[in-house]
Amino acid sequence: MEVVQELEYIGLFSMAARQLHRLEAGPARHWSVPSGGRVLHRGDHLFRSGDRSQSVYRVIGGVLKSYFIHQNGDEQIMGFYLPGDLIGFDALSGESASFSVVALDTASVMRESQDSVSVDAPFSATLDRQLQACMRMEVFRLARLLRMARSGTDARLACFLLDYSEAQASRGYDRYEFHLPMGRKDLACYIGLVPETVSRVFSRLRDRGILRVENNHICILDHAALKALAVEDQG
Amino acid sequence: MEVVQELEYIGLFSMAARQLHRLEAGPARHWSVPSGGRVLHRGDHLFRSGDRSQSVYRVIGGVLKSYFIHQNGDEQIMGFYLPGDLIGFDALSGESASFSVVALDTASVMRESQDSVSVDAPFSATLDRQLQACMRMEVFRLARLLRMARSGTDARLACFLLDYSEAQASRGYDRYEFHLPMGRKDLACYIGLVPETVSRVFSRLRDRGILRVENNHICILDHAALKALAVEDQG
DNA sequence: CGCTTTGTTGAACTCGTTCAAAGGTGGTGG
DNA sequence: CCACCACCTTTGAACGAGTTCAACAAAGCG
């Protein structure tokens, strides 16, 4: 019996692997988690960088972020995890966690079966192939992030919003209207800006009629314009 | 018979996998390549983004770079390949190439045995594990590059030089004195700067007595200072 | 309700880019 | 062998995008 039957890359978010037929948890919901599940509250860590013997988790509901702290002390956000995403591919290599994962809000995760995804057990060829595809996608995501890092501020936020929009759509939510689960600081950190600048860009796009922004509730009014911004090169 | 017996990550460079006992080619040498080998001259492409039915190559001598062109037309350099590195892990997923690879100078590559590394053949569990470790390292390299993208100019070049220094050392060359195989433009592109800035930073570090620079011949005079620069946060 | 935290807006400043020009380097053909 | 040319590298000066600093507004929370 294989638990991971279908791996799929979800927009911008890390190591995304989904079982669509299991994906039913919304962002707000009662957490009646089956065995192997775990509920985290805002600020709770799923695991920390360096932890051993972690397993692979699937996000059932809520949002988490992965990050690590550099020698100089500044935080680097590696990615966000939405419902359906898999977390902890380090475990698959038998390595200790290379980054920390923390809940941005009340979140629920489920431990993937040790039988199907285990360090010791020989992998099935197809599962291996799927995991490779998954990591390949992760490489693309980072390449994308790298490209964003060399673009202007508007392009970065536009790119992020479009990615998030797609991620929402692929989960069956509205493509043009959604709630951003992370604060400005985390958002800024992810796209490589300072919170003030993010705020400015939001205001700028709002004034241009491209977005409607109320706190973290975003509405994309002019999708084409946003796309145009995302593609335009640095400046 | 497994050809890839030992996979090892080489500093900053992509998908690095080595067989140390086979690694003997220096940067300048007569190219008497065995069967399956291929010699490229400056500007020759090993393959281009989108090519199908590529295989996995190992760099025997010379240096290559991988890159792709964005919609806007600007080039993104993904990484450099030094002797011993493996190229073309896309082939392992049975996907077409996601980026182009071109020789920076006369270079020699060898096709890895189709028997040992093939899309169709079931992978050996250990080889799979090794490839996963390899891709994991690639993820780390990109994360590192991402961090560099958010640092100051000095830190970026310092970081690059230290990585390159390590890569040289791991190949048995001098850690403190080496020849950079890529031009200022490619170097700048890789670390996310413009050539002029790279030039300025080189001059700055030279004037501070940290480096000796003659064209592409670099000598690290103050390794500690360079390391300090690489760690210091953005500014 | 008062407090802390988070988000917004303005003004000055800084770092890297852009633009422009001079100095080198390597390759080619006379 | 040298002259020429194209390309790369270096250096300078001005500009501009994003950050920093600081103040204020808003929201979360006891």
For residues B24 and A125, what is the distance between their CA atoms, to the nearest angstrom? 34
Strand D nucleotides below 7 A of a protein CB? Answer: 8-13, 17-22, 27-28
Q: Evaluate whether B90 touches B15 at the Cβ level (below 8 Å).
A: no
At A106, phi and psi to the nearest 5? -60, 125
Structure tokens that stand for A120 in this block: 């010791």
CB contact under 8 A, A70 and B147: yes
The nearest CA of chain A is from the CA of B130 a distance in Å of 9
Gyration radius (Cα) of chain A, Å: 18
- Say how far A233 CA is from C26 C1', in Å: 33
- CA distances, B29 to each of A136, B83, B107 (Å): 34, 12, 10
Testing the interface with A: which of B7, B15, B49, B93 to mutate, by most A Cβ within 10 A?
B93
Least confident of A92-96, B44-48, B166-170, B215-219: A92-96
For residue B66, pLDDT over 70 is answered with yes
Give the chain B residue whose CA is nearest to the CA of A69: B147
- CA distances, B198 to each of A43, A143, B115, B155, B165 (Å): 41, 22, 44, 11, 17
Strand order in the sheet with B75-81: B45-47, B100-103, B64-69, B75-81
Residues of A in contact with B120 (CB under 8 A): none
Whose C1' is closest to the CA of B214: which nucleotide? D9
Torsion of CA B137, B138, B142, B145, to 10 degrees: 70
Local structure of A213: helix, strand or coil = strand
Instruction: Specify the pLDDT at position A73.
Output: 78
pTM of the predicted structure, to 2 decimals: 0.84
Structure tokens that stand for A55 in this block: 């397993």
B202 C-beta less than 7 Å away from strand D = yes
Residues of B in contact with A141 (CB under 8 A): none
Q: Give percent of chain B above pLDDT 90.
A: 51
Average pLDDT over residues B185-194: 96
For residues B48 and A8, what is the distance between their CA atoms, to the nearest angstrom? 26
Structure tokens that stand for B95 in this block: 């996907």
Strand C nucleotides below 7 A of a protein CB? Answer: 6-10, 15-20, 25-26
Instruction: Specify the pLDDT at position A113.
Output: 59
The residues, ordered by sequence, that sit 6+ positions from A163 with a Cβ below 8 Å of its Cβ are A11, A12
CB contact under 8 A, A76 and B143: yes
For residue B167, pLDDT over 90 is answered with yes
For chain B, the average pLDDT equals 79
Which pLDDT band, with edges at 50, 70 and 90, does B134 fall under?
confident
For residue B123, pLDDT over 60 is answered with no
For residues A196 and A62, what is the distance between their CA atoms, to the nearest angstrom? 26
Q: Would you give per-residue pLDDT tens digits along chain A (235 residues)?
A: 322 223 333 334 444 443 332 333 333 334 444 557 889 999 999 999 988 867 888 899 999 999 988 887 788 899 999 998 888 877 766 778 888 999 999 999 988 755 444 444 444 555 666 677 778 888 888 999 999 999 999 999 999 999 999 999 999 999 999 999 999 999 999 999 999 999 999 999 999 999 999 999 999 999 999 999 999 765 4
B195 C-beta less than 7 Å away from strand D = yes
For A142, the closest of B132, B133, B143 (CB atoms) is B143
CB contact under 8 A, B123 and A122: no
Chain A residues contacting B via beta carbons under 8 Å = 70-74, 76, 78, 89-90, 92-95, 98, 122-123, 125, 128-129, 131-133, 135-136, 138-140, 142-143, 145-147, 149-150, 192, 231-234
For residues A72 and A122, what is the distance between their CA atoms, to the nearest angstrom? 40
| D21 C1' closest Cα residue | A196
B72 C-beta less than 7 Å away from strand D = no
Chain B residues contacting A via beta carbons under 8 Å = 70-74, 76, 78, 89-90, 92-93, 95, 98, 122-123, 125, 128-129, 131-133, 135-136, 138-140, 142-143, 145-147, 149-150, 192, 231-234
Instruction: Specify the pLDDT at position B25.
Output: 35
Please report which helix (H) or strand (E) contains residue A79, including its range.
strand A75-81
For residues B161 and B167, what is the distance between their CA atoms, to the nearest angstrom? 10
Q: Evaluate whether B131 touches B89 at the Cβ level (below 8 Å).
A: yes
**pLDDT per position as a tens digit, B12-40:** 444 444 333 233 333 333 444 455 788 99
Which is more confident, B120 or B64? B64
For residues B14 and B17, what is the distance between their CA atoms, to the nearest angstrom? 9
Q: Tokens 């592109």 sit at which residue?
A: B189
B234 C-beta less than 7 Å away from strand D = yes
Residues β-bridged to residue A38: A109
Q: Evaluate whether A207 touches A218 at the Cβ level (below 8 Å).
A: no
Which is more confident, A112 or B96? B96
For residues A33 and A30, what is the distance between their CA atoms, to the nearest angstrom? 9
CB contact under 8 A, B125 and A129: no
- Say how far A185 CA is from D20 C1', in Å: 16
The nearest CA of chain B is from the CA of A15 a distance in Å of 11
- Say how far B146 CA is from D30 C1', in Å: 40
Instruction: Specify the pLDDT at position A94.
Output: 73
Instruction: Specify the pLDDT at position A202.
Output: 98
Q: Evaluate whether B81 touches B63 at the Cβ level (below 8 Å).
A: yes
Q: What burial letters (b/e) apply to B110-140, b meaning 16+ CB within 10 Å?
A: bbbeeebbbeeeebeeebbbbbbbbbbbbbe
